[in-house]
Amino acid sequence: MNKKVTIPAILAVSVFAIAIASFSPTSVLAEYGDYKIPDINGSITVSDSDYYGLEEISLADAMTIAQDSVQDSNAIWGKLQVIQGYLVYKVGLLSDDDMYYKVIIDAGDGDVLYISDGKSKDSWKNSDKSGKWKDHYADLTPEERELKMKQWGEVKDAFFALSIDERAKMIMHFMSMKGQWEGLSDDEKNTKKQEMKQMIEDLLPLSVEEKTEKLREYVNSL
């Protein structure tokens, strides 16, 4: 198999890295998207939808603070948003024991405003959403599926091998692509999905070190 991976392939990886921990690109965020938080008191009150530029700390800062708030965890995604009228960062964490957390960080003073209870990886794998991902490899033998899971675990390791600044830069770029994606037609989206699927399949056989290097090359190209 040709192990040459182009920069666009790494762009595809950034899509999966947002929720990489469960070997399912969609199940984590979809399954754990609904949760209630107590009343919070932030330092930046926002009444306008155009709030970009009002934050006083960076996404990388927020990811670092969130990681420090949950022992033995790594930030896998984050975004700036308004919650209860306050400007905050919402950060997703994965702990070493495969528990997923959401942390709310004040975008002004960096205070930790909320830490969710952890959600186990097993609960993600048993969700209806994750079934779609399992179906993607349904025609593989048990040994082949085990290899795929190992390779996805290595993508996770490669992503976590990046610095917080590198991860934040990749996430911010991915988020900026969202508007472009929504502007595509259904046919264009399907074509892109197939291209990304093939590029990811080309990436998976690489070693952890090679995966990490490709991710870093992509971040440096932004």
pLDDT at 132 exceeding the cut of 60: no
Report the alpha-carbon distance of residue 145 to residue 164 in Å, rounded. 31
* pLDDT score of 123: 62
**Cβ–Cβ < 8 Å for 1, 131:** no
pLDDT in the model for residue 72? 95
The region that residue 52 occupies, defined by phi over 0 for left and psi between -120 and 50 for alpha, beta otherwise, is beta
User: pLDDT of 24-70, one tens digit each?
Assistant: 333 333 334 456 788 999 999 998 778 888 999 999 999 999 999 99
Domains and CATH numbers, the chain: 7-26+122-221 (no CATH), 36-115 (3.10.450.40)
| 3-class state of residue 161 by DSSP | helix
Q: What is the pLDDT of residue 106?
A: 98
Q: How confident is the model at residue 133 (pLDDT cuts 50, 70, 90)?
A: low
What is the Cα–Cα distance from 92 to 18, expressed in whole angstroms? 9
Q: Could you give the 3-state DSSP secondary structure of residue 168?
A: helix
Nearest-angstrom CA–CA distance, 6 and 11: 9
CA-derived radius of gyration, the chain: 18
Q: Cα–Cα distances in Å, from 26 out to 45, 61, 92, 127?
A: 31, 25, 13, 11
pLDDT in tens, 181-198: 778 888 988 887 787 777
Which of residues 137 and 166 earns the better pLDDT score? 166
Which positions ≥6 away from 170 have C-beta within 8 Å?
14, 17, 162, 215, 218, 219, 222
Per-residue pLDDT tens over the stretch 59-108: 999 999 999 999 999 998 899 999 999 999 999 998 988 888 999 999 99
Residue 8 has pLDDT above 60, yes or no: no
**pLDDT higher than 60, residue 17:** no
The residues, any chain, with a CB within 8 Å of residue 64's CB and separated by 6 or more, are 75, 164
CB 145 within 8 A of CB 125: no
Kindly report the average pLDDT of the chain as a whole number.
Answer: 78
- Given this model, what pLDDT does residue 200 score? 76
